[in-house]
Structure 1
Amino acid sequence: MTIPRNFFVFLIILCSSSFYCQKKIIHTNSITSRISIDGKLNEEAWESADAASNFVMYQPDNGKAISENKKTEVKVIYDNDAIYISAVMNDPQPDKIKKEITNRDSFGVSDYFSVFINGFNDGQQDFRFYVTAAGVQLDCIATEDYKDFSWDAIWDSKAVITDTGWIVEMKIPYAAIRFTNSAKQIWGINFLRNIERDVQVYSWNLIDAKIGAELTQNGLLEGIENVKTPARLFFIPYASFYNQKDDNQSDNTFKGGLDIKYGINDAFTLDAILVPDFGQTKFDNAILNLEPFEQKLDENRPFFTEGTELFSKGNLFYSRRIGGFPSAEPILKKNEEITDYPSTVDLLNAVKISGRTKKGLGIGFLNAITEKTYATIRDTITSITRKETIEPLANYNIIVLDQRFNQNSSVTFINTNTIRNGGFRDANVFGLLFDLNTKKNSYSLNGDFKYSSINAYEDYNGYKTALNFEKTSGKIRYGISGKYISENYDINDLGLIYYTNYQAAYANISYRILNPTTVFNTFKITQEANLEIQNTTGKIQDDYLKNTIGASSLKNTYYEFSMQYTPQETYDFYEPRVYGRYVRVPKRLSSYFGFEWNKNHAFTIDATVPFVKYDEENRQTYGVYINPKYRFSNQFSLEYALEYTNKKNDRGRVGYDNNGIVFAERNREILSNILTGKFAMTNRMALNLDVRYYWSYADNHEFFTLQDDGSLTPNSSYNLNKNRNFNSWNLDLSYSWWFAPGSQMIILYRNYALEETDQVEKSISNNFSSVFNSNVTNIISISMRYYIDYNVIKNKF
């Protein structure tokens, strides 16, 4: 087979093409005098500093110069401890500046100023710091695909509203960012200003919307010389008290522990947690799960959300596996029953090391150890109890090597490993990834190869590979991709995957406007096509054509409409829950319409109405999502979200009898209510309310037997009650106070209950009353975390 010469030419261009782009440059000066972070800018050092000005619009009218009456000037100075940034932002109507007070890392409805810092100037990763007009701090680590706002640095800032606009003053210690140890520093830098009431964002160095990448479009900061980074060693001791009470028991618990953050060198940081306490993390949203797959849960534990960008490469890491549901079921003898089965496994300790060298090599290492866990089993005749291991002592490891080059391309190796003590299942998975982009970020070629090896009762191996090509710039963009997943590919010991044993082809093309028109601020239309074929049988398991139109009006109300059509019958290989079996799914038409009002109004609302119609008599799914929000003041707001789904004549597996696998035709309703409230006393102190009530039922009215060809035939002999009625209630009311940099106290009242029966109750009020008649658990907890900087201690002594 002869490979065309043009193919090699294309690869050379893709990997190494370059272009000339004029970047703005700001120079900074070294200072010896003290800077007070008060927003007054009355120190002499600010007078002689160079100013960055001439901002241009990023969104929506990309490239338009900022008006003179909104002139913005930014200055940067530095000393041996930190860099200092001031921003003077003119506004002809300072009384109309939006300044909602929110919790840390929440924008709310506020103007904001931000600085993007890349100490390696490699176009790969920014440290971003934001200050709103209300003085709220936000910070994140940003890559092209992900912004990690769970990352929190320790820095100082002040925002002041003036007669001519507003001012921000910031102090960012070197310990909060990463840069090379060169004598002369050249950093990538950009500044952003958001004017919320106009829904406009301006940047200092132009971020060209035609280019599908932000990070390569920073300007340059020059002039920092001969600074030495201080030792980055931080201790965060914490103590917690919990009082828990339900209908059966009451107990008090004291917990204490320590988090350690240590800067190994200029590039790498070690994070460790000893005796972890996650008792105040957000509750999981329990649901009635009738699907063949486990429910995917959000990660709310800070250690597993903060600074984990490297570990998310290749989607091989699902952190809820660590300390999650036990991996084994106990073997019961005759006349035995389980009296205690823990729903989670305790985490003993965890450590992660991550960072990136000045040559672009990112290295990540994560290790966690979970405790041996037992189920309690009782003999119903003798009442003798015994314990059986349902999760052994387990060790979880991840290693990542990510080499970046040409500012926007990378090659990655990742390995995940799970070792369980004793004769339990072990697993090892590795992946090789590549992402190649032209210098202009106009085209992208990326792909992967992943291999899993499972050591269980029967050892087995599997693999997955994919290749994607995309045009990533301009008004018209498109992409094509293909992937193959083998039957035994399994990453579920430390990752999460639902579907395997198929091959797929996907294509899309989209058109968008890059600047507002006389009708729209933004407009985008996308056409997609997808085909998935099961490897063993050659049958189609998914097939669709999809059109989506999204647009925002000149008054910044956003509308979106989508329609997806599956033109032929497909085959579901998972709902039967028996290897080699499948059920036919009729062709179908899905659509939704949604809108969101301009969020700058005191009252705003967004809503979505989905609908699915199957080519089967009276089988359809419809619903509504409504999310009104009201901002009573800059301090107080309430938000309510109602989601309702009705699945009429839904079909799913319910059991097994002498004739084989039994399916049911059933009606299902799902109702979710969420109320969120916030009252901020200051930008460091707030009351927060989170309430969720969820109800769902499944009412089976006809049974079928699954045939070998995937069809369903009536089964009149099956008479077991497989109905389900599920209620779940959660309430969190918390007071949080950031009493010192990095230090926080939280007082939390938590109240929750769960009820599940096989008796369907279709009255909402009866269900709501019923859940409170079940065993309601009440928890009051107080947690204190205190941030200790080694440098502060060293200077004092």
Structure 2
Amino acid sequence: MSKFHSTALIFLLFFSFHANSQKKVLSAKSTTENITIDGKINEEVWATESVATDFIMFEPDNGRPISSKKKTEIKVLYDNNAIYIAALLYDDEPDKIKKEITNRDVFGVSDNFSVSINGFNDGQQDFRFFVSSAGVQMDCLAIEDNEDFTWDAIWDSKATITDFGWVVEMKIPYAALRFSNAQKQTWGLNFMREIKRYNQKYTWNRVDTKIGAVIPQAGILEGIENIKTPTRLFFIPYTSTYYQQNDLGSDKTLKAGLDIKYGINDSFTLDAILVPDFGQTKFDNAILNLEPFEQKLDENRPFFTEGTDLFNKGGLFYSRRIGGAPSTEPTIDANEEIITYPSTVNLLNAVKISGRTEKGLGIGLLNAVTKKTYATIRDNDTNETRKEVIEPLTNYNVLVLDQRFNQNSSVSFINTNTTRNGGFRDANVSAALFDLKTKPNTYNLYGDFKYSSINTIEDYDGFKTELNFAKTSGKYRYALSGKYISKNYDINDLGIIFYTNYNSIAANGSYRILNPTNKFNTFKVYQELSLETQNTTGKTQEAYSITQIKSTTLKNNYFELFLRINPFNRYDFYEPREVGRYVYIPKSVLGYVAFVSDQNKPFTYELETSITKFDENQRATYLLNGGVKYRFNDKLSIGHGIQYTRKASDRGWVDQNNTGIIFAERNREIVQNDLTGKYAINNKMTLNLTARYYWSYSENHGFLTLQDNGYLVQNNTYSLNKNRNFNSWNFDLSYSWWFAPGSEISILYRNYALESTRNVQKELSTNFKNVFDSNLTNIFSISLRYFIDYNVVKNKF
């Protein structure tokens, strides 16, 4: 390459970075005046000359300046306790401002304003605070491509509609943020305004969508100096009472406990729960699971969802392991039976410490202890009972070290450890991760190496490694990846993994428009090719081509087309439920179409359908999902969704005996109905309804025996009834009142039932009746949580 071309290339790369790194700067003004958060902005101290204005559209038409009719002006103050934000959001049609009242962290059909704060200005994590035009708060921890709205901070805000638009006033205590102890603070800062009726978002510092990273494109907040932050110590005592009744009787329960949050310094926080109570968390969606793997459940317990971004790095932490199902089953004799086997293990306490140093080192420590748990076994000859430990006292630990650098890159070390008391199984998993990006955020190299070690009767270990390279900017983007997972790689004591013992390669490419056209607001085409090979046999485990098109029209309707082709026969190494065995899966094609109507309208609907056709006689899967929602006004809405799946001539494992592994050829149907409703009395008080009815059956019409080569042959001798008919019902009606910051009264009425039988009943109405005729459990509970700030109590005394 000539000297001229080398110089030109260096200049081009530098200019690309330099041009995209121009940052606006806002100066915060110190105040000793008491600021009342009333949405009026009438204190004299707000008369500061430092104003954030000249917003630029983020989407859909990236780069367009905001209209003068939608002028936006932001000011920032600070004292030793908090920062204060005043936002004047002009709108020439204030009567058309969308302002649906929702639950906290639910955006709904409302205009909203947000501030994103990065206390270390490292371009990697934002603390984001939103206020809707109805006064509802939303907040999240954000890393690139992920916003965690399970995180809830304690802060104050007020929104008011005016004759010129609307106004937001916010007070964000330092306790809700993380930053260094430097005398002069320099924070990453951006503001965003969404005008919902146009589905337009504007930011203060321009975010260029050609660049594949949003957080590094923030502006700068300066001026915060010499702050003396108060002690960050908070107590959240709770008390709850439960009344439960079913066919077996009734009981009453009274619980009390305490959550503690302590700021070790401005960067690190300790969270602890003593005597936890998760009785009002969302119910799990029980299903008829005929797969060779457990059902993966969502985490709904606040302690394990709030501020866990560090602990989720590397995908080694599945928090439902803590307090989940026991890890062993008791050994019984032929004359014995198990009469009680707890489905979950009680959590005794949990503690987590997390934060980040001034030099960008993130540290996370999590520890949880669960209770020794017994099963009860009865001797049917003597009628005597005995207890056997199915889960000993168990200690769970997670350690994360995450070093950030260059505003967009990081290297990480993660270790998870499960230690069970006595001679039970122990486990240890360690991982090293790297995520490297070029300064202009145009290319990304990332990967990992993970190692697991299991101590049981027979010790074993395994590893997993992966390498990925991607172009992450511009209209055209692509990625290449390779992965290897050894046979004995096992993270299931504190993580979750289903497939191991394979290697894979994959490539994908995409094209997207960066600004609207005369037909689309957004449009993206995605193509992926992937091949997975089982390590031991060299057989194909998975091979596919994916084509996907996603688009949003100018009328804000969403379309999606998806085509997946499996052009080769492949083999399933898990469905036979025996190590070393596998079953043949024929070639297949899946086609999928989805449509979602404009969500701003009072009546909205969505529809999706797919067909999977296998290269095997009559074998196919059909899916049809639909949903409607009607918003009567800004307070009341109701929605209904239905999901229907039919699997014709499906094939799956049902048994194993002395003749071999038995499969069934079967028809399956799944029907799920979901009903949701919301009535918002105001932005602090809501009534919510959630109901779910699920029915599924599996009806066998022939049996087959698995051959050593993976193929199935007819079995005319097996005759056991392996049909399944499964019903599940859940109903929650709740009232919630956030009567003070961080303090809530909640009242919940819940009923639920499960019914499972070998007798298939194909009438939906009969199934619905049967589930209510089963052992329906009713629960009524009241819970009170009260937030206590140590500084407020200290000042009073």
Aligned-pair CA distance for 1:17? 8.3
Indicate the percent of aligned positions where both proteins have the same amino acid.
Answer: 66
Aligned-pair CA distance for 1:20? 6.3
Aligned-pair CA distance for 1:48? 2.4
Contact 2:124 2:216 in 1 (8 A): yes
Aligned-pair CA distance for 1:397? 0.3
Contact 1:189 1:219 in 2 (8 A): yes
1:131 aligns with: 131
Bigger mean CA deviation after superposition, 74-83 or 785-794: 74-83
Partner SS state of residue 388, structure 2: strand
Contact 1:86 1:167 in 2 (8 A): yes
Aligned-pair CA distance for 1:119? 1.2
2:228 aligns with: 228
Write out per-residue CA displacement over residues 512-532 of structure 1, whole angstroms, 9 at most, x where no aligned residue: 000000111000001100000
Contact 1:239 1:255 in 2 (8 A): yes
1:290 aligns with 2:293: no
Write out per-residue CA displacement over residues 329-385 of structure 1, whole angstroms, 9 at most, x where no aligned residue: 111112111111100000000000000011100000000000000011111222111
Distance 2:527 2:334 in 1: 59
Aligned-pair CA distance for 1:49? 4.0
Change in 2 beyond 3 A, CA 1:622/1:20: closer
1:85 aligns with 2:78: no
Partner SS state of residue 737, structure 2: strand
Whichever residue aligns with residue 517 of structure 1, its letter is T
1:675 aligns with 2:675: yes
Query: Aligned residues, how many?
Result: 787
2:378 aligns with: 378
Change in 2 beyond 3 A, CA 1:20/1:137: closer
2:481 aligns with: 481
**What does 1:415-564 align with in structure 2 at a 5 Å threshold?**
415-564=415-564
Aligned-pair CA distance for 1:610? 1.3
Partner SS state of residue 311, structure 2: helix
Distance 1:254 1:36 in 2: 39
Partner SS state of residue 628, structure 1: strand
Distance 1:457 1:291 in 2: 27
Whichever residue aligns with residue 784 of structure 2, its letter is M
Distance 1:546 1:20 in 2: 33
Distance 1:144 1:19 in 2: 21
Write out per-residue CA displacement over residues 292-346 of structure 1, whole angstroms, 9 at most, x where no aligned residue: 0000000000000000000001100000000000000111112111111100000
Aligned-pair CA distance for 1:18? 7.4
Partner SS state of residue 116, structure 2: strand
Distance 1:590 1:190 in 2: 42
1:615 aligns with: 615
**What does 1:183-198 align with in structure 2 at a 5 Å threshold?**
183-198=183-198
Change in 2 beyond 3 A, CA 1:789/1:489: same
Question: TM (normalized to structure 2)?
Answer: 0.98
Change in 2 beyond 3 A, CA 1:30/1:17: closer
Distance 1:378 1:779 in 2: 30
Question: Where do 4+ consecutive residues of structure 1 move more than 2 Å?
Answer: 16-20
Distance 2:211 2:669 in 1: 45
Distance 1:139 1:354 in 2: 18
Aligned-pair CA distance for 1:40? 1.0
Whichever residue aligns with residue 66 of structure 2, its letter is I
Contact 1:29 1:49 in 2 (8 A): no
Whichever residue aligns with residue 505 of structure 2, its letter is A
2:204 aligns with: 204
Contact 2:526 2:548 in 1 (8 A): yes
Contact 2:355 2:364 in 1 (8 A): yes
Aligned-pair CA distance for 1:19? 7.0
2:743 aligns with: 743
Aligned-pair CA distance for 1:113? 0.3
Whichever residue aligns with residue 368 of structure 2, its letter is A
Partner SS state of residue 576, structure 2: coil
Contact 2:335 2:379 in 1 (8 A): yes
Distance 1:517 1:17 in 2: 27
Partner SS state of residue 216, structure 1: helix
1:338 aligns with 2:338: yes
Distance 2:32 2:504 in 1: 62
Distance 2:674 2:236 in 1: 33
1:67 aligns with 2:61: no
1:271 aligns with 2:276: no
RMSD across aligned C-alpha pairs, in angstroms?
Answer: 1.4
Write out per-residue CA displacement over residues 176-212 of structure 1, whole angstroms, 9 at most, x where no aligned residue: 1111111111111000000000000000000110011
Partner SS state of residue 150, structure 1: coil
Distance 1:697 1:229 in 2: 60
1:317 aligns with: 317
Contact 1:49 1:76 in 2 (8 A): no
Aligned-pair CA distance for 1:147? 1.3
1:306 aligns with: 306
Question: TM (normalized to structure 1)?
Answer: 0.98
Bigger mean CA deviation after superposition, 73-82 or 389-398: 73-82
1:76 aligns with: 76
Partner SS state of residue 225, structure 1: coil
Partner SS state of residue 163, structure 1: coil
Partner SS state of residue 376, structure 1: strand
Distance 2:708 2:180 in 1: 64
Partner SS state of residue 490, structure 1: coil
Write out per-residue CA displacement over residues 732-781 of structure 1, whole angstroms, 9 at most, x where no aligned residue: 00000001110001100010000000000000000000000000000000
2:685 aligns with: 685
Whichever residue aligns with residue 191 of structure 2, its letter is F
**What does 1:706-721 align with in structure 2 at a 5 Å threshold?**
706-721=706-721
2:726 aligns with: 726
Gap runs ≥5 in structure 2: 1-5
1:3 aligns with: none
Whichever residue aligns with residue 325 of structure 1, its letter is A
Distance 2:384 2:279 in 1: 33
1:627 aligns with 2:627: yes
1:52 aligns with: 52
Partner SS state of residue 793, structure 2: helix
Contact 2:233 2:790 in 1 (8 A): yes
Distance 1:127 1:99 in 2: 24
1:661 aligns with: 661
Contact 1:52 1:75 in 2 (8 A): yes
Aligned-pair CA distance for 1:153? 1.1
Whichever residue aligns with residue 412 of structure 1, its letter is S
Write out per-residue CA displacement over residues 49-90 of structure 1, whole angstroms, 9 at most, x where no aligned residue: 411110000000000000010011111111221111011111
Partner SS state of residue 735, structure 2: strand
Contact 2:48 2:75 in 1 (8 A): no
Distance 1:64 1:18 in 2: 20
Write out per-residue CA displacement over residues 683-706 of structure 1, whole angstroms, 9 at most, x where no aligned residue: 000001010000000000010000
Whichever residue aligns with residue 569 of structure 1, its letter is N
Aligned-pair CA distance for 1:145? 3.5
Contact 2:697 2:725 in 1 (8 A): yes
Distance 1:48 1:374 in 2: 66
2:401 aligns with: 401
Contact 1:18 1:439 in 2 (8 A): no
Partner SS state of residue 454, structure 2: strand
Distance 2:671 2:380 in 1: 39
Distance 2:784 2:440 in 1: 49
Contact 1:193 1:203 in 2 (8 A): yes
1:580 aligns with: 580
Write out per-residue CA displacement over residues 409-462 of structure 1, whole angstroms, 9 at most, x where no aligned residue: 000000000000111100000000000001111000000000000001100000
Write out per-residue CA displacement over residues 90-131 of structure 1, whole angstroms, 9 at most, x where no aligned residue: 111111101000111110110000001111111111111100
Write out per-residue CA displacement over residues 490-525 of structure 1, whole angstroms, 9 at most, x where no aligned residue: 000000000000000010000000000011100000
Aligned-pair CA distance for 1:279? 0.5
Contact 1:146 1:309 in 2 (8 A): no
Distance 1:46 1:754 in 2: 59
Distance 2:263 2:21 in 1: 35
2:3 aligns with: none
Aligned-pair CA distance for 1:626? 0.5
**What does 1:169-184 align with in structure 2 at a 5 Å threshold?**
169-184=169-184
Change in 2 beyond 3 A, CA 1:221/1:416: same
Distance 2:603 2:205 in 1: 35
Aligned-pair CA distance for 1:173? 1.1
